[in-house]
Amino acid sequence: MNIDMQAVHETMQPKIRKRWARLFRAAYLTITIVGVVGVIAVTVPNLHRFFEGVFWFCFSFAALFFTAEYAARLYVAPFEPGRELNPHWQTRVIYARSTMGMIDLIAVLPAAGIVILGAHSSGAYLFGILWILKLLRYTPGWSTLLRVFQQAWEPLLSVFVAFIIVLLSAGTLLHALEQDVQPDKFGSIPDALWWAIVTLTTTGYGDVTPVTSLGRMISGVVMVCGIGVFALWAGILANAFAGEVRRRSFLRTWDMLTKVPLFQNLSAETIADISRVLKHRDVSDGSAVFYRGDRGDCMYFIVYGEIEVQMPTAPLVLSAGEFFGEMSLITGACRSATTRATKETLLLALDIADFRDIASRRPDLSLAVHEEARRRMGQGQAESGEGGT
Amino acid sequence: MNIDMQAVHETMQPKIRKRWARLFRAAYLTITIVGVVGVIAVTVPNLHRFFEGVFWFCFSFAALFFTAEYAARLYVAPFEPGRELNPHWQTRVIYARSTMGMIDLIAVLPAAGIVILGAHSSGAYLFGILWILKLLRYTPGWSTLLRVFQQAWEPLLSVFVAFIIVLLSAGTLLHALEQDVQPDKFGSIPDALWWAIVTLTTTGYGDVTPVTSLGRMISGVVMVCGIGVFALWAGILANAFAGEVRRRSFLRTWDMLTKVPLFQNLSAETIADISRVLKHRDVSDGSAVFYRGDRGDCMYFIVYGEIEVQMPTAPLVLSAGEFFGEMSLITGACRSATTRATKETLLLALDIADFRDIASRRPDLSLAVHEEARRRMGQGQAESGEGGT
Amino acid sequence: MNIDMQAVHETMQPKIRKRWARLFRAAYLTITIVGVVGVIAVTVPNLHRFFEGVFWFCFSFAALFFTAEYAARLYVAPFEPGRELNPHWQTRVIYARSTMGMIDLIAVLPAAGIVILGAHSSGAYLFGILWILKLLRYTPGWSTLLRVFQQAWEPLLSVFVAFIIVLLSAGTLLHALEQDVQPDKFGSIPDALWWAIVTLTTTGYGDVTPVTSLGRMISGVVMVCGIGVFALWAGILANAFAGEVRRRSFLRTWDMLTKVPLFQNLSAETIADISRVLKHRDVSDGSAVFYRGDRGDCMYFIVYGEIEVQMPTAPLVLSAGEFFGEMSLITGACRSATTRATKETLLLALDIADFRDIASRRPDLSLAVHEEARRRMGQGQAESGEGGT
Amino acid sequence: MNIDMQAVHETMQPKIRKRWARLFRAAYLTITIVGVVGVIAVTVPNLHRFFEGVFWFCFSFAALFFTAEYAARLYVAPFEPGRELNPHWQTRVIYARSTMGMIDLIAVLPAAGIVILGAHSSGAYLFGILWILKLLRYTPGWSTLLRVFQQAWEPLLSVFVAFIIVLLSAGTLLHALEQDVQPDKFGSIPDALWWAIVTLTTTGYGDVTPVTSLGRMISGVVMVCGIGVFALWAGILANAFAGEVRRRSFLRTWDMLTKVPLFQNLSAETIADISRVLKHRDVSDGSAVFYRGDRGDCMYFIVYGEIEVQMPTAPLVLSAGEFFGEMSLITGACRSATTRATKETLLLALDIADFRDIASRRPDLSLAVHEEARRRMGQGQAESGEGGT
């Protein structure tokens, strides 16, 4: 029983490369998108008439699916590897209070709506829009975004306070200036605030515009402040983003580097430098990494999977821990052989610019790659007369 | 008397963790928000009729409160620690000419308005909007924003001059082109400037639009310039912001580092490197820092307060200067014990990416943490069989 | 035959400095721009009447030209230097599946339109707009832009998912709130989504605006989210851009540095440092690099071409590998002689700020430049009494 | 005669701290602003009637002034220090083809307009708007902006080409989709392009909006592309700006550092590090640098001018090359004495964060400052019992 539950848990995780996990993901995404599009379409009167029956079936199915999914995730949460030590209820609480746990709970709302509000109530339908949140589970980089806001909330908040101050001041001023001329549009501060937010965000519907000279001048100042708020937010987020991206890339590659034999003899400083610049590349089974004759601008390290170099005599098979494509970095020539993945493969790519930069500061990297390339070429020539890629 | 005044002064400062200071803050924020919302609501005719009496009481109370507050702050200014040496009037001048001093003075205006303009005058009410400025005292990151503008005023000004040049040129050109076709909208340069600012900020109300072909082409150029101005401001502010955030974080952690015994033996370079990357985290009394089974991505140093590690046998109590959570950084495992603050606590968090990065360049940090972890594990095993977190 | 094909291939590449290549480029750009402008103009009824005949001739000519060009590029693809080893069909596939290959194929569409839809069909005309894509071949920095999107697609995608979530939620909410008040504008979710996208992108046409209080509040939140999306995208792209620009500049200068004798004796670290900061400057035959009396803020290295320094006695001719303008960097004086290119010349410029910065960390650069300057001045004084520039 | 001309030249340069130069600047700015405001005001019919006479006098005076100024600048150009070696005509050409030279020439246009078009022609008036360009001479940071565009023109251009491609494609598509429904608004591609640019820049006048479903979808895509263009430009400019600001600050401080005796014994690397972080601060005669009791967050080096430290016994006078305020950096205490400039003074400010950062890496800086501080305190105690600031 225990083992089954762990398999169920694993099947429902993203990034698992097994058959059932893929089927689950495909079903999950299809149901989410069909459900949301259905809810949108059913509100159009013409469409509503024609396929209400079909929609009702799909909607109920999706509501049921997401309810079952939430129950299943809650049940199998304790079977997550590395959390077995905890009491069962505690691991379930960890899942339930996580961001995705709450989104999964929200996705149960439409089902609850059907039960409470009745089957064909349009109110129940509208909750279906919330299923769109389910897409976040398979959105890469989502966690980076969240961390960016966590890191930068202080300056973002202070810009927001400045935004509110400008908003209220502008609304009050325009109320004072324009209430006699346009009593229907600037008669109260809440009315004037509608104008203020439309102007400060530079949206500019044009349903409310000032007509007095002074009102227009203040309006111009508000617009410029709006640009300033944009610019400040952009500046803050650009800064926070740069830090997070560096951090994430560094962490993702660090552990993998220890699996590459070439790096075993490098100094800790060189490894940290390389961690900062390596890029990930997923290659699906059967697709080419590069073709013979392509310009070469990076070398690759195999984290897992298998790569086949199509040499003239016999294909050369490389597996986890090995590297290829280094000849283009050293000699600058085009790729001399097409290279394909024969399994699902994860590669780490080292760009030529980063290679040269690091190699200039850390002679050990340069030495290790050159030595391996020389060794391989000697071997290749002994075997087939043309080695390296 | 002297000591009392210092207590009064302290009570009115932000970030003081004492009972009276908290009560004061709560009152201050409540009165500010109730006051501002009241002023906004009272301008709506329907609401005005029903609760004018209530509003009038609240408004007067808030006006009185802020007047009294300003007087008090002015009186106790000389009792600020570190400024006792100055003559009293001079310290009061320092407060009065500070940004917050001026805002506090502005907040007295509504009270003055009541006295001068009469009790129920709507003019007096409108000054109440200015109380929103009072929020700045408790907005973290506000001083960073101010410094950003101070640092970047030169390029911001030159973009503003470019903005004015484009504005005037566009207004004049469109006046020349469209004055015959739309004399009511482009009849004078000030009229055309209204169109120009609405267009250049990409607000686009649509109340004034060019109709000639040439006018529309110039209009397109103006819109693109508007995007350029946005982009330039964003670029300038992003750049200035990055510098200020680095500076602030560096300064806030520097002094605290000296209180952590672990860092006493590190080199000045290592300490400066760590100062640049440590993040602050406030933990209120009783809340958890992390739970058993959470993924661990940082270690913590205690600046002040008290932390309880919930070990199986007996809780381990850590206090200022100690650190915890380092096992997750070294082994990559989940947290092995839940950790709670038992007092108001300030932690410095060292992220795993930063730890690895610095440790690769500065072996002394790595050594110090590993040694302490080993020592603690030995001790922990001797005591309870499971140490470290 | 083989050599002719290579010449044809070379003629059609950008950045080739030969007579036929230039003529080809001029024809290519003229036909592209005339073709696109013609298609735009011919849709205006007044213009259509007058010069339909002329337009028809131009359009057919351009369609023919681009069809012929595509055929030619496909045929000569195997004659690209460095790809001769591949079988002919494979090199043609490489060209056909490249970005520019697909754009060239798209540019054949109008010709196909004429054949299929008939000569004077307006449908055929409209495909002519696609010729604008042809400009990308000669747009410098285009490949950098593409790489930026490749590098940053993950966070960009997650912001886009957030954008969609806000869009759908806002549309649904406003549909629920306003459908009774404005059934023609918010009657279905697709209608409400039109309002949502116009508002979220802060475009604000004003054809659909909320009128209920709650609708307006939500509207305000959507506008602020819109600013946030702008800001996030700007932040992500700023960050990715910084990396790409550094990479490109580093790679472009690296290979050229080895041609400059001065750098032969520098350490690898110094060369990598200089690679990061050197800027390219193309100087056309006969134009001046700087004039006597100009302020000097950089020194130049000649990659190819020829430079003439107009000394009082006789002009000094410098060729590839030599450098000039270093005196201004060392002494801070104005340029002492006007300098002109006598052939098409490519220079690498080393800015004074970068020179000082690198020289302070790498004494070998400073030493090499000073020594050469001293040697040249001695020589110059021996020859003409005034050397160096 | 020669000396007089040099004085005239100097008088007309920005940043000269002499009496006549200041008077000239005041006149120049007053005439520019009065002239431009006058031109704007005179187009308003009501104002026109009342003060046409006054305006006419001012306008003529300004036109005359700027014409005379251009002639004078052209005449004295050869008397610029450091350019005396050039033949006179060549130095004049250098001025005439410089950016400010061309702006000065443009400012002569209104005068030419009066002569050619006749005195009271409104056409002549409108050229007066161009005087606004004259403000650029005194806009700090203007040259930085220009360099940013020079550095980043390649990616900016490629984004612009992408902008044009989206614009034309969107215009053509909407023309095809909406020409039957709204023939007056989307009847020709130029008409549709007006809609496209208003939408792509997210201006959104609302005078032309799509009504078909497909048209609205494409419209949504165009708006999102518009945000992307904003974001890309912002990203490119942010990146280029960061580089330029670093460069400018580095260059401005580098030369001044050699005048500070404290730095004579520091290594070149330390000086380069300090150059990168020092900030300029102009202090006018008589104003305070800081007050006793202020928090201290930087120390100052005097480039020129004179500073008076108000010690209890007798004021301490510091002049060029000396430094002060270092005690706050070392001890963290408030300023112990008020400090005033007694002449126009230029200071270089070293921020506490930068000081700590550099001092941790370069012990020679820390040592030099501490030694000087100790020496001064000893001296101060010997003299007055309280030294340092």
pLDDT in tens, C198-251: 999 989 898 999 999 999 999 999 999 988 888 888 888 888 888 887 788 787
Which of B139, B161, B193 is at the close of a domain?
Answer: B139
List the single residue in C with minimal CA-CA distance to A357. C272
> Nearest CB to B238: which of A220, A238, A255?
A238
Q: E strands, chain D, where?
A: 279-283, 288-290, 298-304, 306-309, 316-319, 323-324, 339-341, 345-351
Cα distance between residue C336 and residue C278, in whole Å:
23
Nearest-10 Cα torsion for A356, A362, A368, A373: 10
Quote the pLDDT of residue C84: 62
| Long-range pairs, D365-369, Cβ under 8 A, ≥24 | D365/D266, D365/D270, D365/D274, D368/D262, D368/D263, D368/D265, D368/D266, D369/D262, D369/D299, D369/D326, D369/D329, D369/D330
CA distance D241 to chain C (A): 11
Of the listed ranges B287-291, C310-314, D174-178, the least confidently predicted one is C310-314
CA distance D345 to chain C (A): 24
B283-292, C330-339, D191-200: range with highest mean pLDDT: D191-200
> Nearest CB to B86: which of D163, D201, D293?
D293
List the single residue in A with minimal CA-CA distance to B291. A94
pLDDT in tens, A85-126: 567 777 888 888 888 899 999 988 888 887 777 666 666 677
**Mean pLDDT value across residues D2-7:** 72
Tell me: do D88 and D151 sit in the same domain.
no
Cα distance between residue B345 and residue B112, in whole Å:
43
φ, ψ for residue B370 (rounded to 5)?
Answer: -60, -45
pLDDT in tens, D279-317: 888 888 888 888 877 777 888 989 888 999 887 778 889
Counting as contact any 3 or more CB pairs under 8 A, the partners of C are A, B, D
How many CB atoms neighbour CB A266 within 10 A?
A: 19
Tell me: do A118 and A199 sit in the same domain.
no
Cα distance between residue A340 and residue C376, in whole Å:
56
Hey, what are D289's tokens? 């640098």
Hey, what are B335's tokens? 């947290």
Domain presence at residue D222: yes
Cα distance between residue C286 and residue A99, in whole Å:
66
Q: Which of residues 311-350 of B touch A (CB under 8 A)?
A: 332-334, 336
Hey, what are C352's tokens? 């004074």
Give the CB-side neighbour count of residue C149, counting CA atoms within 13 A. Answer: 10
Residues of C in contact with D211 (CB under 8 A): none
Hey, what are C168's tokens? 């759908």
Cα distance between residue B295 and residue B297, in whole Å:
7
* CATH number for B204: 1.10.287.70
Q: Which residues contact residue C253 at a Cβ distance below 8 angstroms, ignoring those fewer than 6 apart? A: C274, C275, C278, C280, C348
In chain B, what percentage of residues exceed pLDDT 90?
19
**Mean pLDDT value across residues A225-230:** 85
> Nearest CB to C141: which of D155, D230, D246?
D155
Give the CB-side neighbour count of residue B116, counting CA atoms within 13 A. Answer: 10
Contact assignment for A206 to B202 by CB distance below 8 Å: no
Closest CA to C154 of D164, D123, A139, D60: A139
Q: Which of residues 20-79 of A touch B (CB under 8 A)?
A: none
* Strand-pair partners of A302: A347
φ, ψ for residue B298 (rounded to 5)?
Answer: -160, 160
Q: Which residues contact residue C180 at a Cβ distance below 8 angstroms, ignoring those fewer than 6 apart? A: none
> Nearest CB to A238: which of D204, D206, D238?
D238
Q: Which of residues 197-216 of C touch A (CB under 8 A)?
A: 199, 202-206, 209, 213, 216
pLDDT in tens, D88-131: 777 888 888 888 899 999 988 888 887 777 666 666 677 888 88
Contact B341, B302 (CB under 8 A): no
Q: What's C333's DSSP letter?
A: P
* Strand-pair partners of B349: B279, B300
Cα distance between residue B317 and residue B342, in whole Å:
9
* CATH number for D349: 2.60.120.10
Which of A139, A168, A185 is at the close of a domain?
Answer: A139
Burial class (CB in 10 A: 0-12, 13-18, 19+), B117: middle
Cα distance between residue C322 and residue D26, in whole Å:
49
Counting as contact any 3 or more CB pairs under 8 A, the partners of A are B, C, D
**Mean pLDDT value across residues A359-380:** 78
Quote the pLDDT of residue C387: 40
- The total number of structural domains in chain D stands at 3
- Tell me which H or E stretch contains C302: strand C298-304
φ, ψ for residue B323 (rounded to 5)?
Answer: -135, 160
Residues of C in contact with B238 (CB under 8 A): 235, 238
Domain presence at residue A352: yes
Assess whether pLDDT exceeds 80 at residue D240. Answer: yes
* Strand-pair partners of C345: C283
* Strand-pair partners of B301: B323, B348
Tell me: do D152 and D104 sit in the same domain.
no
How many CB atoms neighbour CB C94 within 10 A?
A: 19
Assess whether pLDDT exceeds 90 at residue D196. Answer: yes
Domain presence at residue D354: yes
Contact assignment for C155 to A144 by CB distance below 8 Å: yes
More confident residue, D224 or B311: D224
Contact A84, A152 (CB under 8 A): no
Tell me: do B69 and B43 sit in the same domain.
yes
Tell me: do B17 and B111 sit in the same domain.
yes
Which of A246, A271, A295 is at the close of a domain?
Answer: A246
Counted residue by residue, chain D has a size of 389
Cα distance between residue A337 and residue D237, in whole Å:
40
pTM for the structure as a whole: 0.86
CB neighbour burial string for A181-204, b if at least 16 within 10 angstroms, e if fewer: ebeebbbbbbbbbbbbbbbbbbbb
What band does B386 get if pLDDT is binned at 50, 70 and 90? Answer: very low
Residues of C in contact with A144 (CB under 8 A): 154-155, 158
Tracing tokens 């002329």 back to the chain, one arrives at C54
**Mean pLDDT value across residues C135-152:** 83
Tell me: do C270 and C209 sit in the same domain.
no
Cα distance between residue B157 and residue B229, in whole Å:
12
Domain presence at residue B256: no
Tell me: do A166 and A282 sit in the same domain.
no
Contact A162, B252 (CB under 8 A): no
Longest dimension (CA), chain A: 95
> Which of B239, B249, B364 to substitute to test the interface with D, most D CBs within 10 Å?
B239
Q: Which residues contact residue A55 at a Cβ distance below 8 angstroms, ignoring those fewer than 6 apart? A: A38, A41, A42
More confident residue, D220 or A112: D220
> Nearest CB to D197: which of B164, B220, B276?
B220
What band does C32 get if pLDDT is binned at 50, 70 and 90? Answer: very high
Quote the pLDDT of residue C263: 77
Q: C97 at the A interface (CB within 8 A)?
A: no
Tell me: do C123 and C100 sit in the same domain.
yes
Q: What's B181's DSSP letter?
A: T
CA distance C103 to chain A (A): 19
Counted residue by residue, chain A has a size of 389
Contact B99, B146 (CB under 8 A): yes
Contact assignment for A44 to C213 by CB distance below 8 Å: no
Quote the pLDDT of residue A386: 41
Cα distance between residue D312 and residue D389, in whole Å:
12
Range of the domain at B116: 2-139
- Tell me which H or E stretch contains B30: helix B19-42
Cα distance between residue B366 and residue B358, in whole Å:
8
Q: B189 at the A interface (CB within 8 A)?
A: no
Residues of C in contact with D269 (CB under 8 A): 360-361
> Nearest CB to B204: which of C204, C231, C238?
C204
DSSP string across A318-373: EETT-EE-HHHHHH-PPPSS-EEESS-EEEEEEEHHHHHHHHHH-HHHHHHHHHHH
Closest CA to A370 of A329, A317, A319: A329
Amino acid (1-letter code) at residue C332:
G
DSSP string across A185-251: HHSSHHHHHHHHHHHHTT---SSS---SHHHHHHHHHHHHHHHHHHHHHHHHHHHHHHHHHHHHHHH
What band does D230 get if pLDDT is binned at 50, 70 and 90? Answer: confident
Contact assignment for D190 to C293 by CB distance below 8 Å: no
Domain presence at residue B389: no
pLDDT in tens, B80-108: 776 665 677 778 888 888 888 999 999 88
Quote the pLDDT of residue B385: 40
Tell me: do C117 and C23 sit in the same domain.
yes
Contact B62, B109 (CB under 8 A): no
Cα distance between residue A226 and residue C227, in whole Å:
9
How many CB atoms neighbour CB B3 within 10 A?
A: 8
Q: C234 at the B interface (CB within 8 A)?
A: yes
Quote the pLDDT of residue D381: 53
Domain presence at residue D251: no
Longest dimension (CA), chain D: 95
Tell me: do B134 and B9 sit in the same domain.
yes
Domain presence at residue D366: yes
Tell me: do C165 and C114 sit in the same domain.
no
Cα distance between residue B25 and residue B14, in whole Å:
8
Domain presence at residue C64: yes
Tell me: do B103 and B158 sit in the same domain.
no
Hey, what are D375's tokens? 């020496």
